[in-house]
Amino acid sequence: MRKISLLRALVAAAWCAAALAMVSPVPGARAEGADGKGRSGPGLVVVEMYTSQSCSSCPPADAYLGELAGRKDVLALSMHVDYWNALGWRDPFSRPDITARQKGYMQSLGTRYVSTPQAIIQGRAYAVGSDRDALPRLIDRAKAAAKAAVQPRITMPRPDQLAVHLPDGPPGTRATVWFVAFDDRHTARITGGENSGATVTYTNVVRDLRRIGTWDGRSRSFEVDISTDRKAGYGNCAILVQTAGVGPILGAAAVPMASSTH
C-alpha cells in the first residue's frame, strides 16, 4: 500500500509541473459499451477504489475491482487520483476532483494519509484495495445499512437528459447528490514509471464526477444534462446520495447511459 502525505504530494506536484507538461498521456482503449444491466435496489454497496497507473501496488487491486464489479450487490468504481503523476508517469484517467474526494474521506474516516490502492466501502469504512479478506467482510457489513437506504429512481426522458427522483426519507436528512459517469473497461499499456511495461485493465473508470444538488429527506427531483458525457462516449452513469459530501452513502443507483428507465 503506497502512502503519501498531503504536503509531499503538493511539493512533488509543484516541483515536477514543468516536466509533466512535456509528458503525453497514453489513452486507454475506448469504452466497450454498457452491459445493459445497471445496479440499484436495497443492499447495493458502493465500492470506490482509489488507484493510479503510477502506483506499483495498484494492479492487483485493479484486478480485484474488476471481479467485484461482477457482483449484483456492488457498484464498483475505479477512482484515479493525480498525486502520483509527478513521480514519472501521468495517469490519463486521473482527476484532481477525485483526489479532493479522497482527501475528504481522510477527515470523515479519520485517516492520516491518502493512499493507493485504497477501497472506500459505502463511504463508511476503508481497507487496502487488494485485501481479499477484508473487503468482502466490509461489503457484507455495509449491506445492512444499504438495505435501509434511499432508492434513487433514474429515467432518461430525452437522450441527453437524466431525470433523478428521490422519495421521502428521514426528516432533517442532509445529503449531497452526486452524478458519476464511468466507462465499462479500459486496457492501458503503461510505458513509464513504476509500472513501466505493464498492461493493466481497469473496470468502471470514473470520467465525470459532479454535485447536482442536495436532499433534505423530502421528495425531490433533479434534471442532469448528460450531453457532454454521451458525446465523450462514457458508457454508464450513477447517482450517489451521500451525507456531508463524502460521508456515509445513503443510496445509489446506476444505469447504462443509453438506458431509458431504471
Kindly report the average pLDDT of the chain as a whole number: 86
Q: For residues 224 and 226, what is the distance between their CA atoms, to the nearest angstrom?
A: 6
Q: How many domains does the chain have?
A: 1
The proportion of the chain whose per-residue pLDDT surpasses 90, expressed as a percent, equals: 74
**Domain assignment present for 19:** no
For residue 9, the model assigns a pLDDT of: 44
- The set of cell numbers assigned to 248 is 456515509
**Domain assignment present for 177:** yes
Q: For residues 127 and 70, what is the distance between their CA atoms, to the nearest angstrom?
A: 20
For residue 183, the model assigns a pLDDT of: 95
**Domain assignment present for 261:** no
Residue 16, number of CB atoms within 10 A of its CB: 16
Does residue 102 have a pLDDT over 90? yes
- The set of cell numbers assigned to 171 is 426528516
Nearest CA-CA partner of 51 in 82, 5, 25:
82
For residue 15, the model assigns a pLDDT of: 32
**Domain assignment present for 31:** no
**Domain assignment present for 23:** no
H/E stretch holding 147 reads helix 134-147
For residue 135, the model assigns a pLDDT of: 98
Q: For residues 72 and 220, what is the distance between their CA atoms, to the nearest angstrom?
A: 27
**Domain assignment present for 64:** yes
Tens digit of pLDDT for each residue in 121-152?
A: 999 999 999 999 999 999 999 998 887 789 99
The proportion of the chain whose per-residue pLDDT surpasses 70, expressed as a percent, equals: 84
**Domain assignment present for 21:** no
Q: For residues 46 and 149, what is the distance between their CA atoms, to the nearest angstrom?
A: 12
For residue 4, the model assigns a pLDDT of: 56
- The set of cell numbers assigned to 18 is 514543468
Q: For residues 37 and 73, what is the distance between their CA atoms, to the nearest angstrom?
A: 12
198 Cβ partners below 8 Å, 6+ apart?
A: 59, 189, 190
- Domain extent, residue 52, equals 2-10+36-256
For residue 32, the model assigns a pLDDT of: 32
Contact 138, 125 (CB under 8 A): yes
Alpha-carbon torsion (107, 109, 115, 116), positive or negative: negative
Q: What is the pTM of this model?
A: 0.85
**Domain assignment present for 30:** no
Does residue 16 have a pLDDT over 50? no
- Residue 231 identity: K
Q: For residues 138 and 49, what is the distance between their CA atoms, to the nearest angstrom?
A: 14
For residue 37, the model assigns a pLDDT of: 54
Nearest CA-CA partner of 152 in 178, 130, 174, 131:
178
* Beta bridge pairs of residue 5: none
